[in-house]
């Protein structure tokens, strides 16, 4: 818990402001933990789960769609050459296709990389509940000690440590967080950091206003995240029947695309054999 300077004069207004500051600092540190989860472990876990359950099927469907577009374009190129009374080699057609579909290829490659990352993360050993609980506790404690919005007068060495703390948390590196906690305690000499208010109601009011704005800004930022991938997938991913229905829909489309691609390929092969 954040502690406050003992030099504070005891009067109703100051005491009320002190309690409000304590409450706001607790709310803000909790929000910072939620934000770190959103931008770190939670985001990665949602991306992985979506890719493993649905994304790979979407990639297969998109890849088939690109192949269908390519075959149709090959047919059009071949027919144009026939209409002009000229001929065009398969190699020349492939060169045209490679140039025209370069952007599609880039999308496919990015999707492949996302699938590979998801598969690697899926195979990573998971933390135990006890380890995860310790990770959260350490991170929240360090943020309350080191965040400049809560403690504007920290030593520079303590403030600089915060970035390392955030990176370690996002990587779920418990050993690194434990080391950083020892370093923070050493820098702060093992004492709680006081929120320096110097008996000033005016300063407390400024700190209160600052924390309220920081909390509002962070809530708005998190709300924006909730509306975008991968967070907008949570409702779907947490409903097993919805996931199964989505997979069934994709698999049906994949079968239809495969059939269409086979027919187009057969038609194109027939055209080229007549050339």
> Going residue by residue through the chain (275 aa), what tens digit of pLDDT does each one get?
444 444 444 678 888 888 898 899 889 988 988 888 888 888 888 999 999 999 999 999 999 999 999 999 999 999 999 999 898 999 999 999 999 999 999 999 999 999 998 888 877 777 787 888 888 888 888 888 888 888 777 777 777 788 888 888 887 888 888 988 888 888 777 444 444 444 578 888 888 999 999 999 999 999 999 999 999 999 999 899 999 999 999 999 999 999 999 999 999 999 988 86
Report yes or no on 71 lying in a domain: yes
How many Cα neighbours within 13 Å face the side chain of 29? 24
pLDDT of residue 45: 87
User: pTM for this one?
Assistant: 0.68
Q: What is the pLDDT of residue 145?
A: 84
pLDDT of residue 258: 96
> Would you say residue 31 lies in a domain?
yes
Longest dimension (CA), the chain: 98
The pLDDT of residue 199 is 55
Compute the distance between CA of residue 180 and CA of residue 186 in angstroms, rounded to an integer: 10
Q: What is the CA radius of gyration of the chain?
A: 29
Q: Which residues, 6 or more positions from 242, have their beta carbon under 8 angstroms from its beta carbon?
A: 235, 236
- 104 in a structural domain: yes
What was the pLDDT predicted at 49? 92
Provide the residue range defining the domain that includes 179: 7-274
Query: Looking at the 3D structure of the chain, how many domains does it have?
Result: 1
What integer pLDDT is reported at residue 3 of this predicted model? 47
Residue 2 belongs to a domain: no
Does any domain span residue 1? no
Give the model's pLDDT for residue 92. Answer: 95
Contact 61, 250 (CB under 8 A): yes
CA angle 239, 241, 245 (to 5 degrees): 120
């Amino acid at each position: 818990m954040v502690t406050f300077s003992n030099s504070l004069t005891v009067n109703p207004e100051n005491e009320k402001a002190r309690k409000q500051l304590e409450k706001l600092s607790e709310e803000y540190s909790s929000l910072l933990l939620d934000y770190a989860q959103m931008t770190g472990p939670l985001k990665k876990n949602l991306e992985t789960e979506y890719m493993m359950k649905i994304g790979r099927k979407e990639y297969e469907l998109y890849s088939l769609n690109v192949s269908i577009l390519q075959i149709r374009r090959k047919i059009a190129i071949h027919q144009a050459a026939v209409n002009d009374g000229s001929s065009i080699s398969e190699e020349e057609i492939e060169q045209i296709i490679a140039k025209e579909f370069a952007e599609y290829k880039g999308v496919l490659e990015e999707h492949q990389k996302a699938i590979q990352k998801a598969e690697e993360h899926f195979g990573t050993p998971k933390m135990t509940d006890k380890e995860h609980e310790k990770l959260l506790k350490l991170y929240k404690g360090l943020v309350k000690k080191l965040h400049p919005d809560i403690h504007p007068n920290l030593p520079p060495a303590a403030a600089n440590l915060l970035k390392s703390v955030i990176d370690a948390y996002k990587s779920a590196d418990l050993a690194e967080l434990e080391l950083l906690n020892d370093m923070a305690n050493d820098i702060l000499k093992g004492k709680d950091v006081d929120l320096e208010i110097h008996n000033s109601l005016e300063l407390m009011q400024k700190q209160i206003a600052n924390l309220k704005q920081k909390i509002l800004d962070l809530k708005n930022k998190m709300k924006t995240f909730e509306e975008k991938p991968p967070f907008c997938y949570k409702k779907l991913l947490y409903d097993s029947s919805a996931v199964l229905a989505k997979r069934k829909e994709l698999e049906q489309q994949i079968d239809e695309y495969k059939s269409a691609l086979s027919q187009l390929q057969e038609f194109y092969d027939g055209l080229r054999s007549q050339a």
